[in-house]
Amino acid sequence: MGTAAPSPRIQHLRQTLAEIDPSLGPRLAGEERLLALAAPIDAVLGGGLACGALHELAATAPAHLAAASGFALALAALAGESGGQTLWIATDFATAEGGGPYGSGLDLLGLASTRLLLLRVPRAIDALWAMEEALRCRALACVIVELSGEGEVADLTATRRLSLAAREGTGFGLLLRHHAVALPSAAATRWDVAAALSEPDAFGGLGRPRFDLFLRRNRRGSSGRWIVTWDPHERAFCAALSVAVAETSLHRSDRAPLARTG
Amino acid sequence: MPLADARARYPALPAAEADPQADFRLLETIADWCDRYTPLVGLDPPDGLKLDISGCAHLFGGEAALARDLVDRLGRQGFRTRVAVADTLGCAWAIARYGDVGTLIHGESIERAACVSIVPPGKVETAMRPLPVAALRSDSETVAALAAAGLCSIADLADRPRAPLAARFGEELMRRLDRAFGRIDEPMTPRLPLPAAFAERRFAEPIVHETCVLDTIERLARQLAQVLERRGEGIRLVQLALFRADGVVHRLEFGTGAPLREPVRVRRLFEDRLAALDDACDPGFGFDMVRLAALVTERCDPLQIGLAGGNAANRAEELAHLIDRLGARFGLRRITRLVPQDTHIPEFAVAAVPAHAARSTIDTPSPSSRLRGEAETPEQDSLAPSRPIRLLERPEPIEAVAEVPDGPPVRFRWRRVLHEVAHAEGPERIAMEWWRDAEGRTLTRDYFRVESKLGARVWLYREGLYGRETDRPRWYLHGLFA
């Protein structure tokens, strides 16, 4: 059983081993892994999305909730390639509003549903408690918490706490809000996610999932806006369109009515 | 005596309706409390409890001290108790109920103090002989028949030849006599399952603080771990019993996902649970005894942990512990895994199974996991995934307009927002399984994957085949795509 308190001798042996093969060495504080998304985004993020940190995603409109969840699950699929599992925590209300994760669909998106754990909690505050515990667990590559509405409970104090917890673990935390919110937050990055019109295939059918990502806040660099396509088979974001293209899509005429009615 | 007669004599007589169920519940509560003396407590309704104190008496300073302690403590709670300790269950039952029939008790052989009678080992027959035959727990008919035959005391029965008695009053009477005298064994059914191992601690002064309770739990868990380690087992179902000073017993019980032995982890499980309980586990004037019992154990072989740390086995263990802790706080049913089912009806195709039941394999990162992941996915007919990532708990009715009755919608209104359809794929026809017909959900569904002009992708279906099953098919939104 346990590895709660390794003896000094074991510690010493581990150090010796780390000198021989650095990949086996214990992780130093501050040294963190980065999850590469797509080249233009990584350039802004400083190499990729930081593991051991908290990130926030918000749907720009209720209709884009699925896109925000899809982006979160795609990130989880990327992070899970190293063997970790994903925990999805949602309040009862959020599940009732947006539906629960659907196994077959997740498999098709690239995230094996056998590697996903679901936790349903009665209150939003419970979700944050569970997230803090889960972030410390080294077996999880990604912890997603879904907060219905604006998720007011996840304020500056709460996100600061979660960020600290994430630093202890190996995976990253994703705070998925149903609405974008102006609350201050300690998250490393904050994204506004919307669905982008997919590129139809040769027969006029639906194309691969495509997201309109707006990096609203980035602790390490500048913000930016990209349209990326997620390839479920390769488990990769590809062909991030240039910001210029994203700009034009921002001013599409049909965006305004949606924002009003939503 | 009828109530009317009694009221005639004592007009102020308080009367209450008999409530055998409440009496039984009270008896169970007292049995719970008696758990402090021995884990083997049996019920003897309507008013008796059977305690098997073999091997426990010395913990309380002997049988007499135990019995006196029991009478004292119950007395303080307002119960008058009669206790008899004897070699056999039958004898103890008889002495407790019929023991004080004055002269029949031999001063020498039975030590009597207050309401406690103790029959020394080997003196069962001597103690039983003077008692009336009713003390054999036989039914009233047999007792009456015995009285009619002039057999009033157990001595009368014991002295007579067995065969004629058995022929006249039945074998049952003889069996009861033998059981009372210890000639044949009498099995006792304990009320609660006997734990595989337990550790307990009593306090002279009741403890109130949560930290004290948790420290005690950790200490008990350490004792338990030593016992279990020797057996090579780990806890699968653990129970904490908190005996409150005023007689209430709180029991907390939960299962673990993997065999568990580590005291610190047991402590953390209870820490989460107690935090979630808040007032439900009110300490009142404090707990004077704490018992930690491993109800179910499982083989738990020591694992070789990687020298470098952080290998697959460690991670599996860590994840199991996290599941246990989340389960302890929110209930094990709330933490689930998705398990595919053998059906093509979308809402039944995936079931959420409690994670501790659905054992998942934590793969070591290898290229094979990726290959297998692809092998599991069904074939695709387009670039977009054919199943949504989120499925609504129940399909939501929408208003949809289609160009042709069988075609995909041109626009639809969901949750009061109008969506214009940019692209659509479908239909994918899903017929209901015939054995679900009884529920009335017989209509075939035509599913469409639809992308709105804003990019939102949803999964819609039209219920009922136009013209064949229904004239006015209704539209539903069932799921959301990434």
What secondary structure does DSSP assign to A171-190, as a single string? SEEEEEESS--------SEE
Is B300 at the interface with chain A, CB within 8 A? yes
**Contact flag A100-B393 (C-beta cutoff 8 Å):** yes
* Strand runs labelled E in B194-334: 197-207, 233-244, 249-260, 287-299
Joined together, the tokens standing for residue A56 give 């926030």
Which residues in chain A have their CB less than 8 angstroms from residue B337's CB?
114, 116-118
Across residues A136-152, what is the average pLDDT?
88
Helix, strand, coil content of chain B in percent (nearest 5): 35, 30, 35
Give the pLDDT score at B67: 87
Give the pLDDT score at B439: 60
Which residues in chain A have their CB less than 8 angstroms from residue B316's CB?
139
* Strand runs labelled E in chain A: 34-35, 49-50, 54-59, 85-91, 100-101, 116-121, 140-147, 172-177, 189-195, 210-218, 224-231, 236-241
Give the pLDDT score at B376: 45
Q: What is the CATH number of domain B197-329?
A: 3.30.1490.100
Give the pLDDT score at B479: 94
Give the pLDDT score at A261: 43
B362-B365-B368 Cα angle (round to 5) = 95
Torsion of CA B372, B377, B379, B380, to 10 degrees: -120
CB contacts under 8 A, A 192-231 vs B, are: 194-198, 200-201, 203-212, 230
Question: Under a CB-based contact definition with an 8 Å cutoff, are residues A111 and A137 in contact?
Answer: no
Give the pLDDT score at B480: 94
Joined together, the tokens standing for residue B317 give 């263990």
3-state SS of B362-422 is CCCCCHHHHHHHHHHCCCCCCCCCCCCCEEEEEEEEEEEEECCCCCCEEEEEECCEEEEEE
Joined together, the tokens standing for residue B339 give 């398990």
Across residues A97-120, what is the average pLDDT?
92
Across residues A187-207, what is the average pLDDT?
87
**Contact flag B383-A83 (C-beta cutoff 8 Å):** no
Residue A194 has pLDDT above 90, yes or no: yes
**Contact flag A101-B390 (C-beta cutoff 8 Å):** yes
Q: Average pLDDT of each block of 10 consecutive residues along chain B (482 residues)?
A: 88 88 91 87 87 88 87 85 88 84 40 69 85 85 88 86 87 87 84 85 88 91 91 89 86 82 88 76 84 88 64 78 88 90 88 78 41 46 85 92 88 93 89 72 85 92 83 90 89
Side chain identity at residue B78, one-letter code: G
CB contacts under 8 A, B 161-200 vs A, are: none
> From CA B31, how far away is CA B50, in angstroms rounded?
9
Helix, strand, coil content of chain A in percent (nearest 5): 40, 25, 35
**Closest-CA residue in chain B for A256?**
B454
Of B308, B364, B422, the CB nearest to A83: B364
> Which of B452, B482, B425 is closest to A261 using CA atoms?
B452
Of A66, A139, A140, the CB nearest to B481: A66
Residue A67 has pLDDT above 80, yes or no: yes
Is B328 at the interface with chain A, CB within 8 A? no
Give the pLDDT score at B113: 47
Catalogue all structural domains in chain A, each as residue range(s) with its CATH number.
52-261 (3.40.50.300)
Establish, for the pair of chains A and B, how many residue pairs have beta carbons separated by less than 8 Å: 264
Of A71, A139, A262, the CB nearest to B318: A139
Across residues A135-161, what is the average pLDDT?
89
Joined together, the tokens standing for residue A240 give 């991030």
Give the pLDDT score at A241: 56
Intervals of CATH 3.30.1490.100 along chain B: 197-329
Split at pLDDT 50, 70, 90, the class of A260 is: very low
> From CA B51, how far away is CA B89, in angstroms rounded?
9
**Contact flag A140-B319 (C-beta cutoff 8 Å):** yes
End-to-end CA distance of chain B: 79
Which residues in chain B have their CB less than 8 angstroms from residue A99's CB?
388, 390-393, 479-480
Which residues in chain A have their CB less than 8 angstroms from residue B390's CB?
66, 69, 98-102, 105
Across residues A184-203, what is the average pLDDT?
89
**ipTM for the complex shown:** 0.82
**Contact flag A112-B417 (C-beta cutoff 8 Å):** no
Give the pLDDT score at A240: 55
pLDDT cut 70: percent of chain A above it: 84
Split at pLDDT 50, 70, 90, the class of A48 is: confident
**Contact flag B455-A102 (C-beta cutoff 8 Å):** no
Is B305 at the interface with chain A, CB within 8 A? yes
> From CA B76, how far away is CA B247, in angstroms rounded?
10
> Which of A254, A196, A183 is closest to A71 using CA atoms?
A196
Torsion of CA B150, B154, B159, B162, to 10 degrees: 90
**Closest-CA residue in chain B for A116?**
B337
Of A14, A101, A119, the CB nearest to B326: A119
Is A81 at the interface with chain B, CB within 8 A? yes
